[in-house]
Every structure is written in C-alpha cells, then in structure tokens.
Amino acid sequence: MKVLPFKIPKPPNENIAFQIDEGPQFYGKLHQHEEIQLSYIVRGSGKLLVSDSITSFDEGDIIVIDGNTPHLFQSRTDTEGYSKMYSLFFTRASFGQHFFELSELEDLKLFFNSLHAGIKLSSGSHHLTGLFNELTHCSKLRRLIILLELLQYFSLHEVEPLSGFKYKKVLTNHEGEKMQQVFEFVFNNFQHEISLDEVASLCYLTPNAFCRYFKLRTNKTFFQFVTELRIEHACQLLESETDGNIADIAYQSGFKSITHFNRKFKQLKGVVPREYSRRQMG
C-alpha cells in the first residue's frame, strides 16, 4: 500500500481547502502532503505522531502541521462514539507570491518561519471554536478571513511546539511503508514487551541497521519513541482516571517497574505521575 504522498482533494482554482473528517476514527496511516494543515478536534481523542513527536489530542484541541511533515492520528478505540475534525489546508503560496512581503504581516511571516513541524493549542477559546464552526457554511472570502484571524491568534499567543525536528527529505513511498509498519506494530504492542529483533525484521533489517534507519528519520532512538508513547498513554489514563492506581496505570502503559515509570514520567513531563494527576483535577 502506498502511504506517501497524500493528496488533499480540493476543487480546481481553490487555494484554501476546508475538509470535515468524521467516523469511528481518523485516518490512521502515516502520510504527508505539501499543504499546511490547521485542524480543530470537534470530537475524539487519541495520540498524534508528528515528525519525531508523540502527543495526545483531545476534543477542543487545535493543531497546525507544517507541509511535507509525516504525521498520523491514532484514535482511541477503547471509547464509544465517533471522531470529528475540521481542517483547513493551504500553502504559503496560497496567498500569492508577494503577500508576506507586506510589513503589516511581519508577525505572520515570523510565525511561519518558526513553525517547524507543527504546534498544538490545547482546548482553544470559545472565539476560535466559533470561527471553526463558521467554516462549515461560510463563503470563500470569509474562509480566507477566518484563516488569517486564526494565524494572527497563533502568532500572538503562546502555543505548544510539536517538534523542533523535521526530516530534511520528503519520505519516499518505500520509506513511508516501512515506517508505517513500525508505527502500527508499536501502537498495537507498546503495552507489552517489544523485541528489537522483531521490529527490525518488519523492515528486513538487522537490529543495528534498523536503529540507525529509525533515528535518521525520527531524530530519536527506537526505545525513546516507545517510552514517549507509553508515557502519553499513561497521561491519557491519568486524565480520565484521576483516582486510578499509579502502579496499575504504569503496567497498563507497558512499564514493568513503577520506579522506572516514575523516573521516565518526571523526565518527560517535569512532574511525577501523582502530581500530574492532581493537576488534572484542578
């Protein structure tokens, strides 16, 4: 199956495309497209992989993914209901060749230059939610104005960078297929022990060759990636089960040692799991 590249469907002569994705889960294959993607999570939750970053997404989050950046949405399957997302797709060229040379748009130019792989804004304001809802029925002119309003907001407010790393090349179809196999395997097995020999065999590589291959394309070791995925899963459990047993959550997330879990959690999140859970309770 060809995973990359991915073409955004849009009518001819339309520079800014609006798309609604809804169903049991979002498109869960590793893909990339030349357009910048600006998405609002209407319903659903799960894990988001962007470049070398793993983070959680939830209802109300706003996510911007730079063009030609490999990414995938892994929707949660342990909850009932469906997933829904509003997205705008555009390129820098969508605004015309000299648009960002205007001095009035210096803030937007700086925003684009610092975008890297992408950003996330958790639980956006009611104002932003209203703008995304308006996209479902507005004119093309209003769509452009809304996009500029959203970009202005991001350029003036603090947002969470998803990654500072971006693979210098566009992944080939063959590379995309390999990485997709690896990610699918890890997403399906991270709660259990993972053998490096087993995952390397998916790519028909030796363990040493696989480690080099993976790090070149993600900027981290394979087991760093697995640990970050496990910690993000633990965060989701801590957010939904604020009175949950920390040891149980550690084991459900793939950790065999509560001590190792606490150490890795604090290393990645800055606080121990108990404190993280307490903060979620407000």
Report the predicted TM-score, pTM, of the whole model to 2 decimal places. Answer: 0.77
Q: Which band of pLDDT confidence, cut at 50, 70 and 90, is reported for residue 3? A: very low
More confident residue, 126 or 216: 216
Q: What is the mean pLDDT of residues 202-218?
A: 91
Dihedral (CA of 122, 128, 129, 132) sign:
negative
Amino acid type, 86: Y
Quick one: angle between helices 222-240 and 173-189, nearest 10? 50
Q: What are the pLDDT digits (tens) for 77-127?
A: 765 668 999 999 998 888 887 787 888 888 888 888 777 788 888 776 778
Residue 63 confidence (pLDDT) above 60: yes
Distance CA 177, CA 179 (A): 6
Describe the strand order of the beta sheet including 17-23 as a list of residue ranges: 17-23, 83-90, 36-43, 62-65, 118-121, 160-163
pLDDT at 1: 30
DSSP 8-state assignment for residue 46:
E
Non-local CB neighbours of 272 within 8 Å, separated by 6+ positions: 262, 265, 266
C-beta of residue 44 within 8 angstroms of C-beta of residue 83: yes
More confident residue, 73 or 174: 73
Q: What are the pLDDT digits (tens) for 11-37?
A: 667 889 999 999 888 888 888 888 999
DSSP 8-state assignment for residue 104:
G
Q: What are the pLDDT digits (tens) for 119-149?
A: 888 776 778 999 999 999 999 999 999 999 9
pLDDT at 165: 54
More confident residue, 130 or 281: 130
Give me the domains of the chain, ranges plus CATH numbers.
17-163 (2.60.120.810), 190-280 (1.10.10.60)
Residue 182 confidence (pLDDT) above 50: yes
Instruction: Identify any residues that bridge with 161 across adjacent strands, giving them in sequence order.
Output: 119
Q: What are the pLDDT digits (tens) for 255-273?
A: 999 999 999 999 999 999 9
Q: What are the pLDDT digits (tens) for 158-177?
A: 788 887 555 555 567 777 78
